[in-house]
Copies of this chain bind each other. A is one copy, B any other.
Amino acid sequence: MVETISPRSGTAFTLDRGQTLTVIDPEGRQVADLLAYSRADTREVISSGRTLDYASRLYLTTGDRLYSNRSTVMLDIIADDVGRHDFLLTPCSKETFAIIYGDADPHRGCFGNLVAALAPYGIEPDAIPVAFNCFMNVPIDGSTGAFTVEPPLSRAGDTVTFRAEMDLIIGLTACSALQSNGGAFKPIQYRID
């Protein structure tokens, strides 16, 4: 069954070891921030630093593994229509919108949406790390390290699929930052198999 996450919102749910999670971009050019926590101990959490170190690559795709802060594999990427995701930047937040966009009355962003969705699982705001940002397109100038946030390369219906390698709590959003989503807020869908 396909579930829909409304524009600029987020959700959380459990994913059992062996299940797959397919994240769907139904309209195209929409980012979804993905977090994963171990159900056995929520202090074990997805880690960009461990994952990138083991991959020796910033752009992850089919065949790559997402590690926890304890160097355990949490999720394997088993299918990917797009091949461009970001694993550098934290979920957008009130402060992101104030600092980067200069918003006077900023939206709570993916960060606020994840805080609300993960609270029932006992996960505190400070425990939200860098998310795996599905479909987020952050090209990098290798010589200077400068990067920009460009519209996603995903087209309507494109997907990325993960297999759980442990029992997980997943946080997932339809990203709330204009720049990350080509200037328009759209829904995200997902399916568990």
Verify B130–A140 contact, CB threshold 8 A.
no
Give the number of residues in A that approach B within 8 Å (Cβ atoms): 40
Interface centre among A50, A57, A146 (most CB of B within 10 A): A50
- 9-residue interface stretch from A8-16, A94-102, A158-166: A94-102
Verify A90–B49 contact, CB threshold 8 A.
yes
Quick one: given A126-B70, A139-B142, A140-B142, are A88 and B49 in contact (CB under 8 Å)? yes
Binary CB contact string for chain A from 120 to 150 against chain B (1 if under 8 A, 0 otherwise): 0000101011100000000111111111100
- Measured CA separation A58–B52 after assembly (Å): 14
Output the nearest chain B residue to A149 by Cβ-Cβ distance. Answer: B56
7 cross-chain pairs, A with B, having the tightest CB-CB distances, nearest first: A49-B90, A71-B95, A58-B145, A142-B142, A59-B145, A49-B130, A43-B126
Q: A49-B88, A57-B144 are in contact. List 20 more A-B contacts (CB 8 A).
A: A45-B126, A48-B48, A48-B88, A48-B130, A49-B89, A49-B129, A49-B130, A50-B90, A52-B89, A53-B96, A54-B99, A56-B147, A56-B148, A58-B147, A59-B144, A69-B128, A88-B88, A139-B142, A140-B140, A141-B142
